[in-house]
Structures are given as C-alpha cells and as structure tokens.
Structure 1
Amino acid sequence: MRTPSYWFTDPDKPDWRARLLSPLGWLYGFGTARRVAGANDAYRASVPVVCIGNINAGGTGKTPTTIALAQRLISQGKVVHIVSRGHRGSEEGPLRVDERQHGADQVGDEPLLMAAFAPTWIARDRVKGVQAAEAAGAEIILMDDGFQNPSVHKTLSIVVVDAVKGFGNARCIPAGPLREPVRAGMKRADLLLSVGHARAQTLFQQKWDKVITCPHATGQLEPLQTGMDWEGMNVLAFAGIGLPEKFFATVSDLGANLLRAEALADHQPLTDALMKRLEIEAAALGAQLVTTEKDAVRLPDGFRRKVLTVPVRLELEDWSAVDAALARILAG
C-alpha cells in the first residue's frame, strides 16, 4: 500500500482529508484500545519475549532492528529465535523458515531475510509460534511486530519509528498513519528507537519530545561495506518496502547515478513480467538494476544474477539504553 501524502502533514495544521476522516480514525484507535485491553489473558512464555513493533503502519525499520538485536544477543552467547506472522499468502505455521527450501511466497520476504541471522518461525497464531520457539530451545524470543496484538505477554516492548516521518499527523488510520494514538502506545512501550540521520533525529526530538515517556535510543541504517564501488554507476533502483524513498536516498548517498527510481508496493510480487520490463528500461538507460535485501529474496531465479543488492544494517552509536533493557529482562 502506498501511504497517502496527507498522513504526514503538520499535526497542528491537518490536511482537509485528515480532518474529514478523523472520526473513522478515532474509531480505529478505539478498536485498537479494546483489542489491547485483552492482554490480561495473554500467554506467558517460559523465556523472555521481546516485541519489536511500531505505532505507525508501514515501514519504520522493524526488520533491521530485529536483525541487529539478534546479532547483539547471539554475540553474547544467547540462543535467539525470531517469531513472525509472515505476510498474506504465506503458510499458516508454525513453521521454521528454511532458506534452502522455502521461497518468499511461502514464508514472506522478511522472515526469509531474518532466517539468515537466527532461527525464524512464522505463525498466524503468535502463541503457537512462540510455543514452537520455546520447544526448540530458544532462550530469548524476538517477536517481529505484534505490539498491538494482546495474545502473547511481552517481557519487553520496543517501538520503532522513522525519525524523518515521525508519527505523521498524529491521527489514526485512515486519517493518518497510526495504529493507535501516540500517547497510548507510549504508555505500553519500554523503549522507543527512532531510526534516521542526525538532523532527522534532532527534528524528531524537537517535535515529539513531549509525548516520549520511555527511554529513547537512536539509530541509523548504514550500507554494509561489501567492496562494491558505487561511485558514478548508472542505476535503475526499485524497492517494494514501506518507505522506498529511504532506499533511493541511500543509493544516491553511495555515489551512484540514480537514473530511475521505481517505487513498488510493500511486499509486491516481483513477477517475470515486471522484472522483464525493468530490465528493458535499465538497458535503454544503460543502467544497472539495484534493489534492497528484502526485495532480493523475492526475485525470480532468472534475475538473481542480474540485480545488485544494497544491504543495510542498523547502527546505534550508543547501545546503553537497549543493553540495559535487555539485561534487566535476562536477569529477571
């Protein structure tokens, strides 16, 4: 889904469409509040469950955050498992993702990507997914998304937000980008992680400081150094992620000459027909096809060698707030 532009206007000067849809947004937020209230009956796992979620709909950086946390915990000797719902069209589960056997159409692109870093499960029923990870020997479970899902008790809840977009116009779907009001989400969050460059972080802090009521960490997505020389390379970049413009900016920042940027819908299937069209357009421009890691796992077999990937990793300058939160739950 492409996010409407009016979702990210000034909260104090909302677009007329946001004002018109505000009653529906209030009803959406009320529905979320009622659903979250059911958390009293949540399943309590025998090991800590860390939820990496968001208040915004769409891409905020949950997958890179989950991968970064998994790598950090594994480096400390912890047995980490990841539990995800997959996406529409993926199997019901619980199913442990196997990169050698499964495709993105079966398990989802994000679980397939995360499975390269830690054992990853997909399950429509999150309780069953968590139970499967427990039975397989997990010492700590990272739950990808599910902040508004009350079925599993969260030992720690980390809310991820894009520092550039912030919380948009502070209204709930369909009037704005929020799944629930910011203040309501902050009451349940144990840690807020904003993802973006230094200037965006400063502006985010200035704009939203009054509603941030939990510890706040900051991070930035940095391209992984692969030895590829991007300087001056003519590229046609395409991305089917929540915020494709972030990827296009990354490609430009690497020094590539971005001749065309094709923004696709999040999780959009990369069919042979679509890829053939992009291949023809790239050839006409004298450009190299480039995409994200998440999109790369959805490429048809015939195009895997034709498309370059720009992997990114979440970097935190200061891990102290995250480490303190993790140490607290692991000690408890």
Structure 2
Amino acid sequence: MRPPGFWQAGPRHPVARLLSPLGALYGAAGARRMDRPGAHAPCPVICLGNFTLGGAGKTPSALAVAAILRDLGASPVFLSRGYGGRLPGPVRVAPAVHRAADVGDEPLLLARAAPAVIARDRPAGAALCRSLGATAIVMDDGLQNPSLAKDLSFAVVDAAAGNGNGHVFPAGPLRVPLQRQWPHVGGVILIGEGAAGEAVAAQAMARGLPVHRARLVPERANLAGGRWLAFAGIGRPEKFFATLRDQDAVLAATHAFPDHHPYRDSDLARLTADADRLGARLITTEKDAVRLPKDVLARVAMLTVRLVFVEPEPLRRQLAAALSSSPETR
C-alpha cells in the first residue's frame, strides 16, 4: 500500500482524528496478540522489526546484523514470512529457482548473503533454520508476531519519517500503540537523519534503550553524466530518488509504486516508453530488481546500498550478549 499523506501531517489532522476510534480497536487487538508468549527457538533469535507499517530499512539492517554475527563466530540464517510470495513454507529460499512471486522480494536479497528460510509458521521456520546449521536466527520483520520468542528485538526507524502522526492504523502508521511496543524491544536502529527520528530516539533513551545510528551508503554509484528515469516500489520511494540526486544523478522523471508492487507488463511498457521518449536510462533499487523479468532487467541499472553503523561496537556487544543466552532456557 502507499501511505496516505495525513499519516505524516500531525496528530490533529481531521482524518486521523476521525479514524482514531478504529485505530484504538485495531491497536488493542494487536497489543493483546503481541503480549502472548511465544515458542522458544533452538538457537538465539534476533528480530529486526518496525513500530510502523511500511519499510524503514529492515532488510539492509538484517544484512548488517548478520555480518556482525558472522564476525562474532555465529552462523546466522535469515527467517522471513515471505511477504508477497505464494509459498507458505517452511522452505529454504533458492535464488536460482524461486521468484519474488514465490517467496517475496526481500528473502531473495537475504539469500544472497546467507541461507534464508520463509515460513508463515515462524516456529516451524526456526526449526528449519536450525537444521541448516543456524547458531543464530535473524528474523526480518515479525516484531508484532508473538509465535516465536525473541532473544533480542530492534525497532528499525527511518529518521525522516519517525512514527508519523503517532496514531495506530488506519488513523496512522503505528501497528500497535507505541507504549505497548516499547517493552518488546531491546534497542532502536535509527537510519539517516531527521527530527521525527530524533523524537523516537529520545523516547528510547528515556527508557534506557540503546540507539544505534546508521546510514545507507550507495555502492557502485557512478551516476553522473547521464539522464535517468528512476522508479521504485518500496516503503518510501522518495528516499531512493533523493539518494540518486545526492549521487549527482540527473533525474528526467520518477515513478513511485506501492511497496512490494508486482510489476505488470503494462507498467514495464510505460516505463520503457517514457525512458525512450526522455532519452533516459532506467534505474531502480535492488529490491525492485528482483521483481523484474530478466529481459527487462537487462535494460535497467540498479543502485545497491549497504547499512553502515556510526558506532558499531555497542551493537556488537548487544549481539554478543544475545548469542550467549543460556540454551537451557530453550
């Protein structure tokens, strides 16, 4: 879905206030569900989630956390619900075999870095992760899913967006009232800069929770000297377009699609025609690229990014402590 504008327009927006009773019902149900005890996995579970609906950088955060876990001597395996895919799992993701329509786009990206499992039944997925040699499970999303107990959960926050207007869906982007979510997280990963994110960071620090600041760094970004038509179907396409401009890319046009958008032939024909008309090359995100057919992908450039922590050592210590959790409690 594409987030409505009033989600970022302040808590007193008339539409948000009108929808707030529905948000209260939705949030109360979500909070009760979130508080349920979950099954214990056979190895530590590190969860990367959001307070809100939509993307904030969970997948690059999961990749960065997995890299630290490997450096600590662990063997991480990714676990995802496989949003947007048709397979219920549990199944190991095979990039050479599966498509985004099978397992979702994000698991395909994760599987390039380490074994990845998709499963709507998270405990069953955790068992498969263990059979693949996992000594740590990195769960991409699932903060509000209680079926699997987590040893350490991080809320990933886009600093430019924060928690929006502070209301619960559909009045705002929160999945559950914020005060009911804080007890379930062990820290915040704050990506980028922005007053909205700093407000979340202040709340975290007031509760004694660490805030791990990070930024997305483009890789192989030699974009100067040409004209580009940029398109993206991610949580905040504007963030991708701004990154391109920061890399001195001249954007002839931009096209924003909803998050996880399944590109149809008509979408691709329109993008290709617009690029030809404007004398521009097509460029998109790595996450979007896995949803494109191979014949189209040959015409499309891709901007890859990686998450870099400003001060990685505090996060490293937190992860090391999670790895040392007692197996007798499982």
Q: Same fold (TM over 0.5)?
A: yes
Q: Give the superposition deviation at 1:229.
A: 2.3
Q: Give the superposition deviation at 1:88.
A: 3.3
Question: Contact 2:161 / 2:196 at 8 angstroms: preserved in 1?
Answer: no
Q: Which deviates further from its counterpart, 112-121 or 315-324? A: 315-324
Uncovered stretches (5+) of structure 2, i.e. residues with no partner:
326-330
> Any residues of structure 2 matched to 1:28-43 within 5 Å, and which?
28-39=26-37, 42-43=38-39
Match of 1:329 in 2: 322
Change (3 A) 1:203 1:32: closer
**2:268 is the counterpart of 1:272:** no
Q: Which deviates further from its counterpart, 72-81 or 170-179? A: 72-81
Match of 2:112 in 1: 116
Q: Give the superposition deviation at 1:77.
A: 3.0
User: How many aligned positions are there?
Assistant: 323
**2:200 is the counterpart of 1:204:** no
Structure 1 distance, partners of 2:68, 2:34, is 30
Q: Give the superposition deviation at 1:145.
A: 0.6
Instruction: Calculate percent identity across the aligned residue pairs.
Output: 43
Tell me which amino acid in the other structure corresponds to 2:292. Answer: L
Question: Contact 1:239 / 1:247 at 8 angstroms: preserved in 2?
Answer: yes
Q: Give the superposition deviation at 1:211.
A: 5.5
Q: Deviations over 1:189-242 (max 9, x none)?
A: 101111113xx2x66325661455211111111101x2x521132100000101
Question: Contact 1:38 / 1:150 at 8 angstroms: preserved in 2?
Answer: yes
Structure 2 distance, partners of 1:264, 1:207, is 27
> Any residues of structure 2 matched to 1:214-253 within 5 Å, and which?
214-224=209-219, 226=220, 228-253=221-246
> Helix, strand or coil: the match of 1:50?
strand
Structure 2 distance, partners of 1:123, 1:220, is 29
Change (3 A) 1:259 1:303: same
Match of 1:127 in 2: 123
Tell me which amino acid in the other structure corresponds to 2:125. Answer: G
Match of 1:20 in 2: 18
Question: Contact 1:49 / 1:153 at 8 angstroms: preserved in 2?
Answer: yes
Match of 1:6 in 2: 6
Q: Deviations over 1:134-166 (max 9, x none)?
A: 122100000111111111010001110110111
Structure 2 distance, partners of 1:235, 1:308, is 9
> Helix, strand or coil: the match of 2:35?
helix
Q: Give the superposition deviation at 1:272.
A: 2.5
Structure 2 distance, partners of 1:161, 1:261, is 25
Give the TM-score normalised by the residue count of structure 2. 0.94
Could you say what the CA RMSD is over the residues aligned between the two structures, in angstroms? Answer: 1.4
Structure 1 distance, partners of 2:202, 2:252, is 38
Match of 1:316 in 2: 309
**2:135 is the counterpart of 1:139:** yes
> Helix, strand or coil: the match of 1:93?
coil
Quick one: which of 256, 259, 278 aligns to 1:285?
278
